[in-house]
Structure 1
Amino acid sequence: MAIPDSLPEYTGTRTFFTRCLGRHFPTVDLKGELVELEVGEVVEESSYMHSIWIEREYVRRV
């Protein structure tokens, strides 16, 4: 739904999150206000090969 402003660009993190924006991913874990999403398909790998943690306010359940 959105990308946190605090993500650093120098590590490629912001670019990776941008590639995930607007797509659907499985939720695999919840910890407090964070959601873990399996996003491997963004880099043409199995979804479980890469995951991101993001605040719940930046994702939408569908």
Structure 2
Amino acid sequence: DKSSAEVMTPNPASIAPGAMAQEAVAVMNQRKITCLFVVDPDNGGKAEGLLHIHDCLRAGLG
């Protein structure tokens, strides 16, 4: 068995909460990833959520 820390991605990709969703899709496509942490740089870098490519596709983006 492995812990979460042993299999996690260190320094995951993130995007600001005010960024446009199209920008998020572009970042995910460019980096060949399927999700981004939504992190507020004005709030100490606190993670506010997780944006998955499926969220964007459901919203008609992609």
**Shared fold per TM-score greater than 0.5:** no
TM-score category of the 2 structures, normalised to the smaller one: under 0.3
- Tell me the TM-score normalized by structure 1: 0.26
Higher share of residues assigned helix: 2
State the TM-score, normalizing by the size of structure 2.
0.26
Which is greater in Rg? 2
